[in-house]
């Protein structure tokens, strides 16, 4: 495989297929989390509404995981959007509005990977990507769902959502990628070969 920038950034058929399958799989996880995270979030809102952001991170997983596995420009955005589309088609409480969330969440993670020129895939970058995905989602939710919140609530929600994204998308996504790579399932990807060399 070419090590030139063009070769590194060119999508292969296997990249597209795996990204799509990964997006669908994560979308199913999103659908299940709609019930658990949604219910838990409602409980946290009774204590202090912004605390619900602490459970939002799992919905940001697709972008981070897609970027870490595929390692191509657009992978984070693609996987997160496909995951959002999958959960919308299965059925969820927010309807097709999750497509906007998917785009923003994926874009947040994508920008972090782009800043590092799609060359650095260490844990701090994954954590930063998860936090950025949370920050991008915060912008949408504050205007779409929580515009009526007191001003004081909004920065707290940003902090909690970013922390959740860092852990439930960033750290968890990094651990999942390494776990998959250790089994040999990602040997057709740089992410799999590189991780297995380090283990």
What is residue 137's DSSP assignment?
H
Phi, psi of 40 (to 5 degrees): -65, -40
Q: Which two tokens stand for residue 68?
A: 């870490």
> Average pLDDT in the 117-130 region?
97
CA distance linking residue 198 with residue 133, whole number of Å: 28
Residue 13 has pLDDT above 70, yes or no: yes
Phi, psi of 52 (to 5 degrees): -60, -20
Residue 17 has pLDDT above 80, yes or no: yes
Instruction: Please give the pLDDT value at position 198.
Output: 62
Instruction: Please give the pLDDT value at position 193.
Output: 83
Residue 130 has pLDDT above 70, yes or no: yes
Instruction: Please give the pLDDT value at position 3.
Output: 45
Q: Which two tokens stand for residue 51?
A: 């605390």
pLDDT in tens, 66-110: 999 999 999 999 999 999 999 999 988 788 999 999 999 999 999
Instruction: Please give the pLDDT value at position 86.
Output: 96
Instruction: Please give the pLDDT value at position 93.
Output: 79
């Amino acid at each position: 495989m070419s090590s030139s920038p063009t070769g590194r950034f060119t999508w292969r058929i296997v990249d597209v297929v795996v990204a799509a399958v990964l997006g669908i799989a994560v979308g199913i996880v999103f659908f299940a989390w709609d019930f658990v995270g949604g219910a838990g979030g409602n409980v946290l809102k009774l204590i202090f509404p912004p605390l619900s952001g602490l459970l939002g991170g799992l919905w940001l997983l697709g972008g981070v995981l897609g970027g870490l596995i595929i390692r191509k420009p657009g992978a984070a955005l693609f996987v997160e959007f496909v995951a959002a589309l999958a959960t919308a088609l299965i059925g969820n409480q927010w309807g097709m509005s999750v497509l906007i969330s998917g785009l923003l969440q994926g874009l947040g993670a994508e920008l972090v990977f782009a800043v590092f020129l799609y060359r650095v895939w260490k844990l701090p970058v994954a954590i930063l990507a998860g936090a950025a995905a949370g920050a991008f989602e915060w912008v949408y939710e504050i205007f779409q769902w929580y515009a009526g919140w007191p001003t004081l609530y909004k920065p707290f929600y940003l902090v909690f959502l970013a922390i959740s994204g860092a852990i439930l998308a960033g750290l968890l996504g990094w651990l999942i990628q390494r776990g998959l790579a250790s089994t040999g399932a990602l040997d057709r990807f740089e992410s799999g070969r590189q991780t297995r060399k380090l283990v």
